[in-house]
Amino acid sequence: MSRYRLVSCLGLAVLLAQAGCAAGKAYSRAGGGGDMMMAEPAAATAPADLPAGQSGEAAPVEEDVASQVARATSEGAADEAGTPRKVVYNGWFTVDVYEIRKAQEKLVALVEGMGGYMQETRGNLVVVRVPAEKFDAIEPELRKLGRVDDSQTRIQATDITARFVDTELRLKTKKKYLDTLTAMLEQAGALKDKLEVQKEIARVVEEIEALEGQLRLMRKQVALATVTVTFRPAHSGPRRTFRLPWGWLDTLGIENLIR
């Protein structure tokens, strides 16, 4: 073989070797797991004993519920304008009468005729509940029983609309959370998971019952106004500011003469 042919063969071998290395590197970059390409992490799969579609993370916790309540409250704030106002009425009156027991009986009969009832009686004090729409009619009726001491009269109207709406939204959110927990309980496989979900369900049910109790109480407070009446013997009330023209008659006291 001539020297020229030998050099040509060696050169061709070198070129073929370089081309093979380049092809190998190109293949490595394209999909061969080299350091030039990072493989995407495999999607986490749920353990066999957890509900389908759930990862190994814990069930929704109270912080999630709190955030839902906050969001629901902010979203429902605009609706409050269209919500009927929830107002709780309370009234305190002091009435001077000559016969306390008879005046108390007349008050109770009056309230029952309005659709209310007596809540408490203690000595000269009577607490009654009347329909809120009849609250304004109480004072005129009390003036028929005796002299109402205006200095001791106090009327209070408390607007609880915001608290009522907030409690309703919290109850709605808790019930949705309970539905989620119930679905998780049906899908849970391991006994440990079932016990954890049941424990959470018991806690949420207790909170739901408490919220429902608060709503019942607020509805009752709004529907029935509370009226507290203290009866005093007429002679113990403030003295009249006028005097009779006959001194001897004034000393006897006109209150005693008309009894």
In this prediction, residues 248-257 reach a mean pLDDT of 53
Tally Cβ neighbours within 10 Å of residue 100. Answer: 19
In this prediction, residues 198-213 reach a mean pLDDT of 95
Asked whether residue 152 carries a pLDDT value surpassing 70, the answer given is: yes
For residue 23 the two structure tokens come to: 């092809």
Nearest 5 degrees, angle CA 97-CA 99-CA 103?
A: 75
pLDDT the model gives residue 249:
53
Asked if 156 and 90 touch (Cβ cutoff 8 Å), the reply is yes
pLDDT digits (tens, 9 = 90+) for 181-194: 999 888 888 888 88
pLDDT the model gives residue 76:
43
Asked whether residue 34 carries a pLDDT value surpassing 60, the answer given is: no
Q: Which residue has the higher pLDDT, 212 or 53?
A: 212
pLDDT the model gives residue 188:
80
For residue 154 the two structure tokens come to: 């106090």
Q: What is the DSSP letter of 46?
A: P
Asked whether residue 166 carries a pLDDT value surpassing 60, the answer given is: yes
pLDDT the model gives residue 212:
97
Tally Cβ neighbours within 10 Å of residue 45. Answer: 8
Q: Which residue has the higher pLDDT, 96 or 38?
A: 96
Spatial separation of the C-alpha atoms in residues 126 and 145, rounded to whole Å: 14
Contacts of 190 (CB under 8 A, 6+ apart): 49, 50
The whole-model pTM stands at 0.57
pLDDT the model gives residue 244:
53
Give percent of the chain with pLDDT exceeding 90. 53
In this prediction, residues 160-173 reach a mean pLDDT of 95
Spatial separation of the C-alpha atoms in residues 223 and 89, rounded to whole Å: 9
Contacts of 155 (CB under 8 A, 6+ apart): 89, 90, 91, 92
Q: Which residue has the higher pLDDT, 237 or 33?
A: 237
Q: What is the mean pLDDT of the chain?
A: 74
Spatial separation of the C-alpha atoms in residues 28 and 49, rounded to whole Å: 40
Asked whether residue 36 carries a pLDDT value surpassing 70, the answer given is: no
Spatial separation of the C-alpha atoms in residues 191 and 80, rounded to whole Å: 44
Spatial separation of the C-alpha atoms in residues 230 and 123, rounded to whole Å: 9
In this prediction, residues 40-61 reach a mean pLDDT of 39
pLDDT digits (tens, 9 = 90+) for 81-130: 566 899 999 999 999 999 999 999 999 999 999 999 999 999 999 999 99
